[in-house]
Structure 1
């Protein structure tokens, strides 16, 4: 079979798609399947011309806002780049972004196109304060789900909770197939170590949706109770200066290290003790599984895919979002008791190894891909 994995931007950033799709390609190619990656270079801006027409709603009714106009222009840019670069036929296209999926179906209507929806752009924009709830931008972005349901040969997503999120925007969300993300264990090399001072780490974009303001307030409470620790923040984003200033105001600057963007944080994580990320929403939360595979104890919020990965006090700790007191209490349990921390970390590793293996994803995708195999295609 000749399969194209159609991404949005190149797989350079940490996260679900970048942490998985290139490794899926490697495994399938090793099995003798021909799989290629395709994406839109970040330098492509304003090249596409024309008008975007959807079958299920009138996109022009939402034009005039920066988010919608940029989305439509990016769609046209993807059409321009794809038309220029792809000159061969594929047996199947598996897209990992709505724009990639709809463009591929527009340009190759006779080719089966599958889409994995990895996250919610509109929910991220709302949580990050960039659009208002129920405004034109959210209405446009949620209308896209109905277009996808009409156009795609199959839709997949990464968690049961995210399928439930999609349900109000589709006729039959039960048809969405859930395949949780999987990770190549060879990338993760846990290290036996004992840190005299507990080392906390978080890895994310520095945006409001990730709840790092809550984390800093929780750490301030932890410090006031007399606990010593270091918090390592890996990632960059528009909130960095604000978070640095908040650390100073909370008398935490000596306890926090801001690293900025890092391409392979999994190479760094095994040296730490506790992974914590109090997200306000998360479709899956790949970084939790990655941290678990590095033998870190997990602390997360009871939202989305995080709650599907963590069973509270079994393989990690779950707290309600927006609650610094609860988060601080959870961190205190792990900081104050090395044995408890060790047991949580090993339980997290065991579940991640058994449930979130890349081989499981390969097997599930292979079964789906075979449904679209044409006569004579490789198996």
Structure 2
């Protein structure tokens, strides 16, 4: 069977999808399956000219809104690039972005299409203060979900919580299959070490949705309580300068290191002790599984896919979002008790290795591909 994995971002970009799909391709190649990756290069901008239409809603009332216009132009660009680059047939197309899915179905209507929804663009925009719930942009972006439901042969997502999020926007949420992200455990190499001062680490894009302002407030509280630590922040984004200013304002200048973007943070994480990220929302939260495979104790918020990965007090600690005091309390527990921290990390590693293995993902995807292909051949 020959399969096309249709991405939006190029595979070298950071993030759960981009870091996972090339490893999926490698595993399928070892099984003798054909699999290729396809994405839209950053240099392709404003090339597409074809008109865009949707089956389930009329998007023309939204035209004139800058975000909607950019989304439609990106759709046109993806059409233009796909027509240029894809010249051969595939048995199945697996899309990992709404635009990729819709374009592929438009251009190759007879090819079975499966799609994984990994995250919510509109929810990220709301949390980052870019749009408001119920706005023109929000209504347009949530209309896309029913369009996807009408076009794809199999719709999948990465967590039960994200399927619940999608439920109001589609007709049959019960038909969505859940396949959590999986990780090649060979990439992660825990390293025995003893740090004199507890080393905290977080890895994310520096945007409001990740709750790093809450993390800095909790770190200031830890310092007030007299607990030494160092916080390492890996990632970049539009609020980096704002966070650096906040760190100085809170008296944390000597306790925090901002590294900026790093392509393979999993090579760096094993030297630290605690992974912490107080996200305001996460469809899955791949970085928690990656940190667990590096044998770090996990501290996160009780939201979305994070709460499905962490059982509070067993393989990590969960706290309510927007609560610096509760986060400081959780961090205090792992700062003052290395044995407790070690036991959480060991349990986290054990669960991640069993539940989020790449082999499990391969097995589940094989089943989906075979079922979709068999249904197509039976017609």
Please give the TM-score of this superposition, normalised by the length of structure 2.
0.98
- Give the superposition deviation at 1:50: 2.7
SS at match of 1:371: helix
What residue is the counterpart of 2:114 in the other structure? 114
**2:359 is aligned with 1:359:** yes
Q: CA deviation at 1:132?
A: 1.2
Partner of residue 370, structure 2: 370
Name 1:139's counterpart in structure 2: 139
Identify unmatched segments of 5+ residues in structure 1: none
- The structure, 1 or 2, with the larger RCO (C-alpha pairs under 8 Å, 6+ apart) is 1
- Structure 2 counterparts to residues 1-379 of structure 1, below 5 A: 1-373=1-373
What is the deviation of 1:328?
0.3
**Secondary structure in 1 aligned to 2:42?**
coil
Size of the aligned set, in residue pairs, is: 376
Contact 2:113/2:153 (<8 A) preserved: yes
Three-state SS of the structure 2 residue aligned to 1:372 is: helix
CA distance in 2, matches of 1:111, 1:344: 46
For 1:218-264, what per-residue CA distance to the aligned partner results, in whole angstroms no more than 9, with x for missing partners?
Answer: 00000000010000000000000000000000000100000000000
Deviates more, 1:60-69 or 1:177-186: 60-69
How far off its partner does 1:12 sit?
2.1
Shift of 1:374: 6.3
Q: Residue by residue, what CA displacement relative to the aligned partner does 1:335-358 show, whole Å, maximum 9, x if unpaired?
A: 010000000000000000000000
Name the SS for the 1:201 alignment partner: strand
Find the aligned partners of 2:295 and 2:183 in 1 and give their Cα distance. 14
How many angstroms apart in 1 are the aligned matches of 2:60 and 2:296? 48
- Structure 2 distance, partners of 1:286, 1:241, is 25
| Deviant stretches of 4+, over 6 Å | none
Q: In 2, distance between residues paired with 1:245 and 1:133?
A: 29
Preserved contact between residue 91 and residue 372 of structure 1 (Cα < 8 Å): no
The 1-side partners of 2:161 and 2:374 are apart by 33
Per-residue displacement from partner, 1:125-163 (whole Å, max 9, x unpaired)?
000001111000000000000000001111000000000
Inter-partner Cα distance in structure 2 for 1:208 and 1:305: 18
Checking the alignment, whether the CA contact within 8 Å between 2:9 and 2:18 is kept in structure 1 is: no
Give the secondary-structure state (helix, strand or coil) at the position aligned to 2:4: strand
In 1, distance between residues paired with 2:28 and 2:80?
29
Q: Which moved more, 1:81-90 or 1:57-66?
A: 57-66
- Does the aligned pair in 2 maintain the 1:159–1:179 contact within 8 Å? yes
